[in-house]
Amino acid sequence: MNLLIAVPAAVGGAAFFGLTSALQHRATQQVRQRDALEPGLLVDLAQQRVWLLSLVANAFGVILQWVALTTGPLVLVQPLLVTGLLFGVLFSGSFDRVVLLGAGLCVAGLAAFLLVAQPTGDSTEMTLGGVLPLAIGLAAILAICLAVAAHRPGNTRALALAVAAGVLYGVSAGLAKLAAEELSQGILVLLTHWPIYAVAVCGPLGFLLSQNAFQAERALAPALAVITILDPLVGIGIGILWLGEDLHSGVGPVIGQVLALLSLCAGVFVLSRRAPQAASKEAECSS
Residues 6+ apart with CB under 8 A from 74: none
Average pLDDT of the chain is: 89
Q: What is the pLDDT of residue 133?
A: 80
Cβ–Cβ < 8 Å for 33, 150: no
DSSP string, 149-179: HHH--HHHHHHHHHHHHHHHHHHHHHHHHHH
Q: Is the pLDDT of residue 124 over 60?
A: no
Q: What is the pLDDT of residue 80?
A: 92
Q: What's the rounded Cα separation, in Å, for the pair 198 and 206?
A: 12
The sign one gets for the Cα dihedral 210, 230, 77, 82 is positive
Tens of pLDDT along 30-54?
Answer: 999 999 999 999 999 999 999 999 9
User: Which residue would you say has higher pLDDT here, 267 or 134?
Assistant: 267
User: Which residue would you say has higher pLDDT here, 207 or 278?
Assistant: 207
Q: What's the rounded Cα separation, in Å, for the pair 279 and 232?
A: 27
CA nearest 112: which of 7, 8, 233? 233
Q: Is the pLDDT of residue 125 over 80?
A: no
User: Which residue would you say has higher pLDDT here, 126 or 21?
Assistant: 21
Q: What's the rounded Cα separation, in Å, for the pair 103 and 157?
A: 20
The full length of the chain comes to 287
Q: What are the b/e assignments for 240-276, b being 16+ CB within 10 Å?
A: bbbbebebeeeeeeeebbeebbebbeebbebbbebbb
CA nearest 100: which of 85, 112, 78? 85
Q: What percent of the chain has pLDDT over 90?
A: 61
Q: What's the rounded Cα separation, in Å, for the pair 163 and 142?
A: 8
Q: Residue range 93-120: average pLDDT? A: 90
Q: Is the pLDDT of residue 281 over 80?
A: no
| CA distance readout (Å), 95 to 41, 152, 216 | 26, 24, 17
| CA distance readout (Å), 87 to 177, 203, 222 | 27, 23, 14
Cβ–Cβ < 8 Å for 141, 167: yes
1 pLDDT band (50/70/90 cuts)? confident
Identify the burial level of 135 via C-beta atoms within 10 angstroms of its C-beta, where 0-12 means exposed, 13-18 middle and 19 or more buried.
Answer: middle
The phi, psi pair for 182, rounded to 5°, reads -70, -35
Identify the burial level of 129 via C-beta atoms within 10 angstroms of its C-beta, where 0-12 means exposed, 13-18 middle and 19 or more buried.
Answer: exposed
User: Which residue would you say has higher pLDDT here, 122 or 237?
Assistant: 237
Tens of pLDDT along 236-269?
Answer: 888 887 777 788 888 898 999 999 999 999 999 9
Tens of pLDDT along 59-101?
Answer: 999 999 999 989 998 778 888 999 999 999 999 988 889 999 9
